[in-house]
Amino acid sequence: MAIEVKVPSVGESIAEVFIGTWLKKEGDTVRRDEPVVEIETDKATLEIPAPASGTVVKLLKAEGDSAEIGEAVAHIEEGEVADTPAEPAEAAAPAAAEAAEAPAAGHVMPAAAKLAAERGVDAAALEGSGPGGRVLKEDVPATAAEPAAETEAAPVRAGARTEEVVRMSPLRRTIASRLVESQQTAAILTTFNEADMTAVMNLRKEFQPEFEKKHDVRLGFMSFFVKAAIDALQQTPALNAQVRDDSIVYRNYYDIGVAVSTPRGLIVPVIRNAELLSFAEVEKTIGDFGVRAQSNRITPDELQGGTFTISNGGVFGSLLSTPIINPPQSGVLGMHTIQERPVARNGEVVIRPMMYLALSYDHRIIDGREAVTFLKRIKDTIENPTRILLEV
């Protein structure tokens, strides 16, 4: 009996997806709930599991094709799938010994195994960057490295000019369109300040062991900035608002988007009701986002909404930037790298760990006074973190 593999609902506003990578080909056997194909939305990459065990008899879509929610993309002939026969004990022993000597590579994801085979790469020898050391597609190098002794570098003809045309992924296309939308629909202005990170760094150093022991998570900088942003948003409500037609919608809840880098581009998962979370809960949520983003396991629902965004370009070494608003939000806070700089304190020049802060805001509903007040409040809170309760 043929069973249809259908595109599941992946989000309230998503009606179409794109076929990413087929993890199974026609004639392959598959077990129930085993991934069959990767699909891409404008926000995330997801896997469609097999609805039943059997044999893949027909692929209805090619990689790169679009498909609607509920549309069938493959057929599976339902049937029993035999277990992989166990190795004889005498054969298994040497294999186990070899495995013990070889470095552990972790579980190889199906998409990574397929890509590695196409590129002639030994997937089992790769170091995985996914959860539990899982080998992801992004861990597979472009080509297999060859022994230097057996190869000779081919001379490159001077003046050779080549081009490579690569189709934008749905995520990259969405990023591009939203950035253009932000510039075209909002009156974006950016104001700057700087914060002395001495107090926060000392606080982290003092309480890090106790905090980590109690909550099983490290105390990072982001939780301080999330808490400081919520405090500042409560003082300047317009930055937590949005323009809707000819009205201003003020929100009395704080869903803070945190920009996270992935192999496919920048995404902004949302910490819901961040004002109700403790420092530890904020850190755990951000940490979970970071891990799942690397293996494309952030769900579309987690990318919806958001009332304000924080972007930390400092992790890449950015000293100063003008972040772009994530529409329809009205503001985004940009954090930057911490750099020791000479500053004046009590008439003396001292060296302090300083961070430049940038606030981009929608000037249609936020005046300069409000923007400066907001960023000054962030600065004051970071430089005097005892004003916010740290749970240890």
Catalytic residue among 28, 301, 363, 380: 363
Residue 173 lies in a domain: no
CB atoms under 10 Å from CB of 35, counted, come to: 17
Domain with residue 219: its CATH number is 3.30.559.10
When divided into structural domains, the chain yields a total of: 3
Same domain, 193 and 322: yes
241-256: b or e for each residue (b if 16 or more CB lie within 10 Å)?
bbbeeeeeeeeeebbb
52 assigned to some structural domain = yes
pLDDT score for 122: 81
Same domain, 110 and 195: no
User: Does some domain include residue 152?
Assistant: no
Catalytic residue among 33, 65, 122, 367: 367
Q: Is the pTM for the entire model greater than 0.85?
A: no
Would you say residue 87 lies in a domain?
A: no
Residues 132, 243, single domain; the answer is no
Position 182 in a domain? no
CATH number for the domain harbouring residue 64: 2.40.50.100
Residues 207 and 298 both lie in one domain: yes
Concatenating the DSSP letter of every residue in 119-133 gives HT--GGGSPP-SGGG
- The answer to whether residues 71 and 112 belong to one domain is no
Q: Are residues 124 and 23 in the same domain?
A: no
- For residues 216 and 365, state if they share a domain: yes
Amino acid at 112: A
**20 found inside a domain:** yes
Span 120-167, pLDDT tens digits: 788 778 877 654 566 766 677 765 444 444 445 555 566 678 888 877
pLDDT tens track, the chain, 392 positions:
789 999 998 876 678 888 888 999 999 999 999 999 988 876 677 889 999 999 999 999 998 888 999 999 999 999 888 765 444 444 444 443 443 343 334 767 666 777 777 777 887 788 776 545 667 666 777 654 444 444 455 555 666 788 888 777 777 777 788 888 888 888 999 999 999 999 999 999 999 999 999 999 999 999 999 999 999 999 999 999 999 989 999 999 999 999 998 877 788 999 999 999 999 999 999 999 999 888 778 888 898 889 999 999 998 899 999 999 999 999 999 999 999 999 999 999 999 999 999 999 999 999 999 999 999 999 999 999 987 765 44
367 is annotated as an active-site residue: yes
| 86 within a domain of the structure (yes/no) | no
Whether residue 107 lies in the annotated active site: no
Residues 230 and 371 in one domain: yes
Q: How far apart are CA 317 and CA 339, in angstroms?
A: 10
Pair 262, 328 in one domain: yes
Q: What is the CATH number of the domain that holds 113?
A: 4.10.320.10
313 CB-near residues (< 8 Å, 6+ apart): 321, 323, 334, 335, 336, 337
In a domain, 161, yes or no: no
280 and 363 part of one domain? yes
246 and 373 co-located in one domain = yes
pLDDT digits (tens, 9 = 90+) for 351-363: 999 999 999 999 9
Question: Residue 20, Cα to own-chain centre: how many angstroms?
Answer: 18
Place of tokens 């709930």: 33
Q: What is the pLDDT of residues 83-134, one digit of tens each?
A: 654 444 444 444 434 433 433 347 676 667 777 777 778 877 887 765 456 6
For the record, the structure tokens of 189 come out as 């202005």
**Backbone φ, ψ for residue 38 (5° rounding):** -95, 135
Which domain, by its residues, includes 20? Answer: 2-78
Is residue 199 located within the same domain as residue 325? yes
